[in-house]
Structure 1
Amino acid sequence: MQPDVRVCYSNVRSGAHPMPHCRHLTSASLEALANGLYTAALDGRPEQWETALGEIADAFGASRAFLQPCEGGASWGSVRPIFVRAEPEWAQSYIEYYGALDPLLPLAFRMRGPDRAMLDRQILDRRDFERTEFYQDWARPQGMNTGAFGFFLPDRPAKHRGWGVLMLVRDSRSDVFDQGEQQRLEALLPHVRRAVSAGLQLGSAMSERDALAAALDRLAPRGALLVNAQGRVVFANAAAETLLARSDAPIGRTRDGTLTVSARAPSAVRADLVRLLARAAGKDGQSAEGGTVHIPVENLTARSIVLEVLPFADARPFGSTLVLVMIDRAQEPPQDPPLTIKALQARWDLTPAEARTALLLAKRGTGSKMLARELGVSPTTVRTHLQRVLEKTDTHSRAALVALLLHGPV
C-alpha cells in the first residue's frame, strides 16, 4: 500500500535567474513563516501545509521543499508527507525506489539532534555524492544541486512520535546554502516542531470526536446529547436532533445552544434540569453524580420524556467537561398514575424498602446520594434497592424505570 503523500507542483519557478538568498531574513520574516506553520496546524488541510512550506521555500531561496517523517512509518497521522514544487512522478519515484538509495538522509539522521540543521556538504563529500546512483538518476535530472536538512522530534501523542525532517533544495542556478542560512533554519525548526505537534494532537482529537459521534449515533432510537458545563449542547445524535427540531418537543435549544425545557413544563422541572446538569458536571467542587428528570407535556401531539443525566468520563475530544444526557420517550401521554408503595409492591413483588426507593426516584428523579439522604440510608443501600427493582421490573436504566412507573400500567 502506497503512503498518502501531498505533492504541490503548481508554483514551480521558471527562468534563468538564481533564487534569492535568505542572508537578510529578519526576525519579522521568521515570525511570519512561523505564523504560516501554526495556521496550517490549526486549519488541518494539506493545502494549508503546502502554502506554509512554499513560503519557507521562497524565504530560503529553495526550488523545492519536503516535510516528512524519517522514521516510525509513512506518516504522522493527520500531517502527511508533503513535497512542494516536485513533479508528482519524481516524488512518487522517491517514495517507491530512490528514497532507499538516498545517501544523505540516513547519514544526516545518524547525526541528528533536536531542532538541528545540517548542510549537505557537512554530511557527505560532494564528489562521493555525485558518484551515487541516487544523484545520477534522480537528483541530477531534476536539477537538484544543494540541500539543507532540519531535524525535529514532534511532541505527543506518542503513537505518532518519530523524528521528522524539513528538507530545502536549491537547483544548479543557485549558490549553496551557507552557515548563516543554516542558523536561520535552526531558528525556524522549533516552530516546525510545535506546529507539527499541534497538528497531530488536533487531528487525533478530531478522529476521537468523529468516533464518539458515530458511537452515539448508533444509540438510536434513543436520543443522546453531550452538554458542556455551561449547559450548551455540543453534540446531538440523529434521534436527539429530530426531537429538538420539533416545535412541540418537551426540550429544545435556545439561540446560544443552551439546553432548555418547553415553556409548557412546570418551572420546577426547569430548575431540576439545571441542577442535575450542574451536579453531573461536578460544578462548585462537588463530586460528579447523575440523576433523572421527567419532562411532561400537556398536549397530545408530543410525548413526555425522561432525561437520564450522567457524568461523561472522557470529554477530551471536545475540549471541556461534558455531561451525557440520554433521552427516553414515554409510550403514552403523561398521566397521573396512582403511585403508592402498596401498588408498586403488588405489581412487581417489591419489598417495602424497594418500593419506597422506587417511588421517591419517580417523584424526585435524583441521584443515589440525594435519595439516600431523604430515605435515611447509605447510597450503597439505595443502589442495591434500585438494582433489585430494575431486575424485577425488567428495565435496564433508571430513566427507563421512571418512564415505566410514570406511564406504564401499575
Structure 2
Amino acid sequence: MDSKVILRLIGSIYDAALDPELWDVFLASFSAHFKGNAGLFSQNITSNEVGLVKYGEADLAYAKLYQDYYAHVNPWYRNIWSGGVNPINQEGRLFFGSGLVDPRELERTEFYADWLRPQGIYETLATPVLVSGAGITNLTILRSRRHAAFEPHEVEAWRELLPHIRRAVQVHEKLHHADAHYRSALSAFDHLKTGVILVREDGWIIFANASAESILSAGHGLSTRFGRICALSSKDTEALLHAIKEAASTGMGRNTHAGTKLALPFGPSQALSVMVSPMTTEQHLELRHGPAAMLLVEHPLTRNPDATTELARRYGLTGAQTRLLEAILNGRKLADYADEARLSINTVKSHMKQIFEKTGENRQADLIRHFLRGSGDTTRKS
C-alpha cells in the first residue's frame, strides 16, 4: 500500500480519537483500501455481549443483527478465545477466518448461511486491538470470496496501522467519558480527572486542563520552564520531548510513530503515567499553533480515588470537607464547586478554612502539593 495512503489513514485515525463520529469516516476509507467491510467493535468474551459498534460500509440492518444475535454464534470469534487462552496474549495478533475455521465447516454453520452468505462475505481478518479484562476491542475486515486472499503488502499495512488504532482507542476511552455536551470543545477536558496537556512539537504548552494544572503546580513528575513542558530530570525531559516530537510529527503526516507511554518518577517511589499521543490540529479543536501532541497524565492519587478518602480520614476531615478537597485536587475553583454542590461561596470558604486548619497549610497550592505527595506524609505543621 502506498505510503501516502498509510499517512492519510493514520491522520484519519487520530481525528476519530477526538471525534467519535469520525470513526465512520476512517472505517469507510479503511474498507475501500482493504477491499471489504471494516468494523470496530467491543465484545465481552464471557457473555459475548457487543458494545461499541462502528462499521464502514456494512448494511446497518445486518450490523444490528450481529449485535443482537450473531455475535453469540460467530465461530471465528469463538475460536480466537477457545481453550482458556489469556486474552492479553491475543492482543495485537492477526487472525484469518480460514485459519480459525475450515471454510467447508464454516459453510455448514448458521452464522454463514444466515449472516455471511446473504452479504457475500467469505473471509475475515481480525485483530483484538485492546484488551481490558473481559472486554475486547476488535478491528475486523470482512471480504467476499473474490477478494478472500490477503496479499503480503496488505498484511504489512495492517500491522503498520495497528499501533495507531490501539493508541486512538485508548485516547477515545479516556476522553469520551465526559458528557456528550462537552465533547466538541476544549472545555470538555476540564470535566476529566485525567490530566490533558496539548503541546507543540517543541514542547510549548498550548493548553492544560484543570487536572493537569494541579499536577504541574505541584511539580510532581512534570513541570514547566519558560512555557515549555519538562520532567524533573534532564534524562526524563529528553525522553519526554523526543516522544512529543515523534507524536507531533505523526499528527502532521510526516511519519508513522504511534506515540509513547512514559513513567515519570517523583518523590521516593511514585511515578506519573504519561501517554504521549499524536493529534491533528485542523480537526475538532481548531488549534492554529503548529503540530501538536496530546499528553494524557494520571497521578497515582487520582488513579486511586480511595487514597483521598484515606488521607482525609487521617486528618479528620468531614464528608463535606473531603468532597471539597477532592474537587480542589482535581483543579476545580471554589466558585465552580459552590455552584456544582449548590452551596453558598461563604459555606465553601468556611470548609476551606477548616481544611487549612486541620492540615496545617494556608494556601491551595501548598495543599495540593501536600496531598499529591507520593509519600503520603500526613504530619501536621507546627
Q: TM-score interval w.r.t. the shorter chain?
A: 0.3 to 0.5
Q: Name which one, 1 or 2, has greater alpha-carbon Rg.
A: 1
TM-score (structure 1 length as normaliser) = 0.44
TM-score (structure 2 length as normaliser) = 0.47
The structure, 1 or 2, with the larger RCO (C-alpha pairs under 8 Å, 6+ apart) is 2
